[in-house]
Amino acid sequence: AKPVINWYSFVLYADNPGFFSKYWFAEKPWENPEPYLNRAPLSYVGNINTPTMLLTGEEDYRTPIAESEQLYAALKLEGVETAMVRIPGASHGIANKPSNLIAKIASILAWFEKYRQ
């Protein structure tokens, strides 16, 4: 849950762009994109073949839902079985509300039950 998938875009639209680009990287993404791409799971999506479920709060401004949407779309393009669970009203702390915690746990249990042997 709450994955940063594409550092290049994340540092520009997360809730604190000045912090992430200033303290986590030596340069801005357009000045030197390589470190951003090297750290981005999106750069390695071609290596993924495990069925993958993404859990994301729709109101997460720390790691915006677009991060999960990018990985979801990339995995679909690669033919990897993928599910994306969007928790309505949830922020970065998905489980802060009991109903969100229940939705998260139910989704995880259903996903693992699907692949149980």
Q: What CATH number does residue 85 fall under? A: 3.40.50.1820
Cα–Cα distance, 101 to 83 (Å, whole number):
18
Over residues 98-109, the mean pLDDT reads 92
How far does CA 69 lie from the centroid of its chain?
7
Which pLDDT does position 3 carry in this prediction? 79
Please state whether beta strands 52-57 and 82-87 pair in parallel, antiparallel, or not at all (unpaired): parallel
For residue 103, pLDDT over 80 is answered with: yes
Segments forming the whole domain that contains residue 53: 7-115
Residue scoring higher pLDDT (96 or 75): 75
What's the pTM value of the predicted model, to 2 decimals?
0.86
Asked, for residue 1, whether it belongs to a domain, the answer is: no
Determine which helix (DSSP H) or strand (DSSP E) holds 82, and give its type and residue range: strand 82-87
Of the chain, the percentage scoring pLDDT greater than 90 comes to: 50
Over residues 47-64, the mean pLDDT reads 91
